[in-house]
Amino acid sequence: MTGDSRRRALAGGGATGVVHGRWEHGSDFHLTLPRGDADAFPWGRGPVTLWGSGRDALRAVIRRGRQHRGWRRLHCPSFYCQDVVRALAREIDVVLYAESPLEPAPALPRPAAHEVLLVVNVYGLRPRPELPGGAVIEDHTHDPWSDWACSSQAEYAVVSLRKTLPLPDGGALWSPRSAPLPEERAMTSAHAQACLDRLSAMALKTRYLEGRRVAKAAFRALAVAGERAVGAGDAPSGVSGYTRAALPALPTARWRRARSGNRAALRAALGDLPGVSVLDTPFAVTLVFHGTGADERRDRARAALADARVYAAVLWPLESAAVGGIPAEHADLARRLLTLQCDFRYTRRDMMVVAERVRRICAAS
């Protein structure tokens, strides 16, 4: 890959390539603001409010519901990010209903007048459900531009933007039914520092991938510190000025098509893996390890993939439960999953490299 082609790739047109040993797959986004068609706000016909993170958006709408609607309890799926659940449990009583990505969509509980239901499109896998009535919030983070997200009938809907877009922060909140929205807020000082850390890490990662003399440990430390602090303040934070300005310029429809094509290519190239099934979803390709010692084989495979510069994610660890009620089989499933990213950063060639390394490592684990 030439210097010009590398710069085009890092600007949002495809993979980072193998130059100076700097090829890698997965982990946090590098910083990019590409040219091209922009279509970041397709949700409904009403306003979209921006927050520091998806959990800030959820906390803000729950606070409004408590104040104006008397909400006292949130029904939350059992297979969900525990950092988010922990943040929500500071705002409202949280009870769980059983749901996991390997099971059929559950019958959703009908919230009482003082309750609200959180419906999550985990991995972008779920079909649009029949909503049970009452107050409903939908989380579309794993497929923000699905048909379901763009034509939702829920009272409120949220997206965590930094999970699928090269942004340092950001959560979007809107009401498909034109319900009143909480007013946007300024950034808190804690969130401003978290955003600065993440934005700095993204900029340094871009230079690292270009082959510049940047220490990986330097930007990783900033990324970890920033991620740990996002959404952790006492009050919901507003969004950064960078994300507010950059979001409308992003070609989200093109990037969603790129993710879909990469995902199909990776799934086909993986073939049949010993002791592993493949969960193919709009968000990513997820490996499900089976059999005796599956959790240990998952851990060995993840470590070996990281040594091969393929950084697989665990979505989500459920050992440190934020509230009681997670079924044991869901916690066990979480210990057997590895998720491989397929987003716009990569080309079909990258997917072939990832597939070869996954096949080799799964055969040895």
- Residue 38: the pLDDT is 78
- 143 and 256 inside one domain: no
- 162 and 226 inside one domain: no
Q: Is residue 39 part of a domain?
A: no
Q: Is residue 40 part of a domain?
A: no
Q: What residues contact residue 51 under an 8 Å CB cut-off, 6+ apart?
A: 57, 60, 170, 171, 172, 173, 184, 185, 236, 237, 238, 239
Q: How far is CA 363 from the centre of its chain?
A: 29
- 82 and 26 inside one domain: no
pTM over 0.85? The answer is: yes
- 13 and 55 inside one domain: no
Instruction: Find the CATH number of the domain harbouring 67.
Output: 3.40.640.10
Q: Is residue 184 part of a domain?
A: no
- 95 and 164 inside one domain: yes
Q: Is residue 181 part of a domain?
A: no
The strand order across the sheet containing 156-160 reads 48-51, 171-174, 156-160, 135-139, 115-120, 73-77, 93-97
Give the residue numbers spanning the domain of 102.
Answer: 48-174
- 263 and 225 inside one domain: no
Encode pLDDT of 17-53 as tens digits: 433 448 999 999 999 988 777 776 667 667 999 999 9
- 83 and 114 inside one domain: yes
Q: What are phi and psi of 220, to 5 degrees?
A: -65, -40
Name the percent of the chain lying above pLDDT 70: 93
Encode pLDDT of 235-293 as tens digits: 999 999 999 999 988 999 999 999 999 999 999 999 999 999 999 899 999 999 999 99
- Residue 49: the pLDDT is 96
Instruction: Find the CATH number of the domain harbouring 262.
Output: 3.90.1150.10
Q: Is residue 324 part of a domain?
A: yes
CA–CA dist 131, 134 (Å, integer): 9
Q: Is residue 183 part of a domain?
A: no
- 290 and 257 inside one domain: yes
- 19 and 106 inside one domain: no
- 170 and 220 inside one domain: no
- 195 and 101 inside one domain: no
Mean pLDDT, the chain, integer: 92
Q: Is the pLDDT of residue 184 over 90?
A: yes
Query: How many domains are there within the chain?
Result: 3
Q: Is the pLDDT of residue 2 over 50?
A: no
Q: pLDDT band for position 365 (50/70/90)?
A: confident
Q: Is residue 331 part of a domain?
A: yes
Q: Is residue 179 part of a domain?
A: no
- 55 and 162 inside one domain: yes
